[in-house]
Every structure is written in C-alpha cells, then in structure tokens.
Amino acid sequence: MNVIRPDGTRGTTRTSPIQLADRNDARLDQLVDELVADMQRAAVALDFEGAAHLRDEVAAARAEVARRGAAASSPGG
C-alpha cells in the first residue's frame, strides 16, 4: 500500500513511520538490504520511477537507523 510520509515523499507501508518504529534493529537492517536490492533490480529493468521511489524508502529506513543511533549515543538515551 502506498503512503505519503510526513516529509512529502512517497513510500509503502514497509517504510511508514509506524512500521519502521516497530522493527527491531536486525529487521530494520534487513529491510534496508531488501529495499536496496529492489531498487537495483528496478534500475536494471529501466524502471527509473520505481527505483526513485525505492530510493526514497531506503532513505527513510536509513534515517530511522540514524535516529536510533543518535538516541542511543545521547545522554539518557
């Protein structure tokens, strides 16, 4: 299912803020790997619009990884 994220980018329910927050770190890393592979397959198939949407999903998932890393390294986090 397609969603529009708070930053205005499109994605799927796999990368909605709620879905990302519910994933543990290992599952989030696995999702990033899956999205990158999907993006590469789309690019090889010359589906550049699909690859661009997947790029946005990769960015959202990586932002969640970074947010968690920042929270873990902050005092009290």
- Confidence band for 76, pLDDT divided at 50, 70 and 90: low
The range of the structural domain enclosing residue 53 comes to 2-71
**54 part of a folded domain:** yes
Pairing verdict, β 2-4 and 10-12: antiparallel
3-state percent helix, strand, coil for the chain, nearest multiple of 5: 70, 10, 20
Output the pLDDT for position 19: 83
Report if residue 55 sits inside a domain.
yes
How many independent structural domains does the chain possess?
A: 1
Q: Which two tokens stand for residue 46?
A: 């010359």
Tens of pLDDT, residue by residue over 24-66, are 999 999 999 999 999 999 999 999 999 998 999 999 899 999 9
Task: Report the largest interatomic distance among the alpha carbons of the chain, rounded to a whole angstrom.
Answer: 47
Q: Which pTM was predicted?
A: 0.78
Interhelix angle 48-73/25-44, nearest 10 degrees? 160
Residue 77 falls inside a structural domain = no
